[in-house]
């Protein structure tokens, strides 16, 4: 019984470490002013950037991302689900639309501020 009780804190710590590592994998980072990156790409106030992706995520990530063909670099969704639109100059918690055709995701003030220096 004593061994079981002593394992509970260890199991709890392992579960907490696992949960934080899962969310950390999708975390957005700002390696320099006006730039947001996840583990796949980087963007600035002009959109997804090959140069910034190569600089902060790596050459292979940039090659993989930009070898997929043409895409709109001004509207993008990070691995975390944060969606940013350069034309609107906003980042949102989701890229979806309401029935009226307007974006439904709540505005992320913190990521909007980082990316668009607002």
Residue 97 lies in a domain: yes
Domain that residue 53 falls in: 26-116
Q: Which SS3 state, helix, strand or coil, does residue 108 take?
A: coil
Q: Is residue 69 part of a domain?
A: yes
pLDDT of residue 79 exceeding 50, the answer is yes
- Dump pLDDT digits (tens) for 88-97: 999 999 888 8
Examine residue 6 and state whether it is found in any structural domain, yes or no. no
**What are the b/e assignments for 5-22, b being 16+ CB within 10 Å?**
eeeeeeeeeeeeeeeeee
- 2 or 80: which carries more pLDDT confidence? 80
Query: CA 65 to CA 50: how far, in whole Å?
Result: 8
How many domains is the chain partitioned into structurally?
1
How buried is 62 (Cβ within 10 angstroms: 0-12 exposed, 13-18 middle, 19+ buried)? buried
Which pLDDT value is given to residue 38?
A: 97
């Amino acid at each position: 019984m004593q061994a079981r009780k002593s394992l509970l804190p260890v199991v709890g710590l392992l579960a907490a470490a696992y949960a934080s590592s899962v969310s950390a994998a999708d975390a957005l980072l700002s390696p320099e002013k006006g730039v947001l990156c996840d583990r796949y790409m980087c963007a600035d106030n002009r959109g997804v950037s090959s140069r910034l992706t190569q600089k902060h995520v790596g050459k292979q990530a940039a090659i993989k991302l930009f070898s997929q063909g043409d895409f709109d670099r001004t509207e993008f969704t990070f691995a975390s689900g944060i969606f940013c639109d350069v034309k609107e100059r906003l980042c949102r918690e989701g890229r979806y639309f309401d029935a009226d055709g307007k974006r439904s995701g709540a505005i992320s003030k913190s990521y909007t501020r980082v990316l668009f220096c607002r």
